[in-house]
Structures are given as C-alpha cells and as structure tokens.
Amino acid sequence: MLNLLKDNQNWVENVIAKLTAKMDAVSERSKTKIPYTTKNGKHDNQIETDINWWTNGFWGGMMWLMYHETGAPNYKEIANFTEDALDLCFHQFYGLHHDVGFMWLPTSVANYKVTGNSESRKRAMHAANLLAGRFNLAGGFIRAWNDDTASEDTRGWAIVDCMMNLPLLYWASEETKDPRYAQIAIKHADTALEAFIRPDGSVNHIVEFDPFHGGVVRTYGGQGYEEGSSWTRGQTWALYGFMMSYMHTGKQKYLQAAKRVAHYFMANIPDNGVIPIDFRQPKDPAYEDSTAAAIAACGLIEIAKAVGEYEKDVYVNAALKLLKTLDASYCDWTTDSDHLLMKGSAAYHHQDIHISIIYGDYYFMEAIFKLKGNDLFLW
C-alpha cells in the first residue's frame, strides 16, 4: 500500500476527473482509429498507415484502463475494435519484431484477463510464440529487429526496450504452465543485466552480440544522443522492465537492478522535473521527452510497492514530482484536442521531437491509476 498523504490523494482524484472528462470526448472521436500522434490536435490512424507499428497496442490499453476505471462499455468496444484490427499483422508477419509484447499485452492479454475471451488468449499465445522464436541460444538474448542488409545487419542486436516485452513470455508460462517461455525471458533478462546496465546505473540502448558464438561485440547510442550516452526512455524501459521481471519471477537481482537504474534516474531528475531526451545530451537545444517521465513514474511506483515502509517514500516522491510536472505543464486538458501529453520525443536524432505520442498518454494514465490503487496491471 502506498498510503499517500491526503493532499496527494486529492490531487490524484482531481487528475482522474480530468482524465475521465478528456477520454470521454476523445474516445468517441477516435473510436475507429489506432493513434500514434496528433496532427493539429486530431489523432492520426495507424490502421491506414502502418498496422505493424510497435505502438499500436497502447490505444487499446488506454481503453482497457478506462473501462476498468469507469465500467463504461464503449471503452471495451473500442478496445475490441483495435484488437481485431491488429490481426492483419499476423497475416503480414514480416513487419513484426520483438515488440509483439508492446502490441498484444495491452490488447489481447488485457482482454483475456478482463473478460476471459478465448480468441484473445489465442492471439496472445501466438504473439508469445513469435517472441520466443526470436531467442538466440548462443548469445542468450532476444533479437530486436529484422534488418539484415549489408548496411545494417541486426542479427546480433538486442535493445533495452525488450525488457518490456518479456511479460508476454511470463504470461504465457503462467497461463500454460509450460516453463519454456519464462525460461527464455529469464535468460534474456540475465543477459541484459550483464550487458546493458553500466556500473553507474545508466543503461545502453543497443548491444550487439555475436549471433553465432555469443558475447558482446559493441554498443550503440541508438535513440539517444551518442554511444555511451543515456537515452532517458531507455533508462525507463530498464527501470520498469527489470521491475516487471522481478514481479513475475520474485528474483531479488531484478529488483536490485531496477533500483540501481532508478537511483541513477532520480539523481538526474532536474529541479524543474523536466526530463531531457538524453541525460548526457548537450544543454542546447534543450530537447525534452515527457514520455520518459511517465514511464519512469510507473516503474518508481512499482518499486515503492515492493520495498519496505522506510524506503518507499523516496520512490513515491520522485514519481509524484514527475507526474505533477506533467499534469501542470505537459498535459493538454482541453477536450477538443485528442492528445494528452505534449513534448514527447521519438529519439534524439529524429524529426519527431516535441510531439504528442500515444505511449506518453498511456503510461501517464497507468501511473495515475497505480497511485489511486486501482491499477489494471496489463503487464
């Protein structure tokens, strides 16, 4: 139990009232879409542009969170619509990579957990098998992406984001009582513990392994500023991802890993609570990423729930600082724009900087419901 102070409880209730009013309007407008971002305040639609896009599970996940909170049937209907739309990805197959966890945990696994829908279970099992099939036995890692060209050979590439896909494998083992899926997840997490987390608690984004013999070949800066830098969303994928491996396995080493990354992250939160794209980026331009703040808050809250009474406040207070900054300065609470969080950034060297991104909205919402103690844990 978090036992928030009364002021903080009131703040959470106030944010939930704003969320409910906002989502009531936005869900109706976007009920036949799978959004990634907004253009002029209106959601785009990945069903028309890129059905395989890795973020296509988050809108469905938001609908399940809202359904859990309000019980309003329209949220369930929209979630079902997005889940059906994702079936095309299975048919196309070649567009899928390790992010099948991000896509089918908040949609099919969520649906199955909430309603027991057997079709959803089948989809989620299919996705879990696709993820398991990406495991590299020699290197003990799950391959991230599919490129295999002369200019970009990713056969040996693993990325820290994959820690967030592992819960699909834990779920599959919990569901079937077949340990193979969890065995793969644990092996990947163990490899990531060694190869991604640096001694100071910061993490690499991309690690290339020798795909034939195993062993680290080199690291890449990936979506961060440069090799050796500290892409903030990558830090949060590790923070929350190792926490999830702890929650599913009970292994203390994953909790310790999540805490190490969390301590590094908290030590780097600026006084104003604004999270940059990379903790080691140049001061100017002052690029920001609101999505990293929201994801970090989710992980910090889970750490707070796992540690003892004497330790938890440091994590709760850091999460509150991040979320209150988002509420006050980054949330668009008007009901005529479709996005919630502003100033999300896809990557440091990318044109999609300071835009709204759907997973920012998703994790902000998840964090708020966690604080309320009414979290529908979709991972």
Q: Which two tokens stand for residue 288?
A: 């920001």
| CB of 223 vs ligand GLY, minimal distance in Å | 6
Nearest CB to ligand GLY, comparing residues 109 and 295: 295
The catalytic position among 7, 84, 161, 336 is 161
Specify whether 99 is catalytic. yes
Binding site for ligand GLY (CB under 6 A): 54, 161, 223, 233, 346
Please report how close the Cβ of residue 102 comes to ligand GLY at its closest, in angstroms. 7
Q: How far is the CB of 234 from ligand GLY (least distance, A)?
A: 7
Going by their DSSP bridges, the two strands 206-209 and 216-220 should be labelled as antiparallel
Q: Closer CB to ligand GLY, residue 306 or residue 353? A: 353
| Of residues 27 and 236, the one with the C-beta less far from ligand GLY | 236
Supply the minimum distance, in Å, between the C-beta of residue 7 and ligand GLY: 33
Instruction: Give the span between the Cα atoms of 92 and 83, in whole angstroms.
Output: 15
**Taking CB positions, which residue lies at the least distance from ligand GLY?**
161
Q: Based on the residue annotation, tell me whether 161 is a catalytic residue of this protein.
A: yes
| Closer to ligand GLY by Cβ: residue 111 or 223 | 223
CB nearer ligand GLY, residue 161 or residue 302: 161
Work out how close the CB of 357 gets to ligand GLY at its nearest, in angstroms, rounded to a whole number. 8
Catalytic residue among 44, 87, 99, 278: 99
Which residue numbers are catalytic? Answer: 99, 161
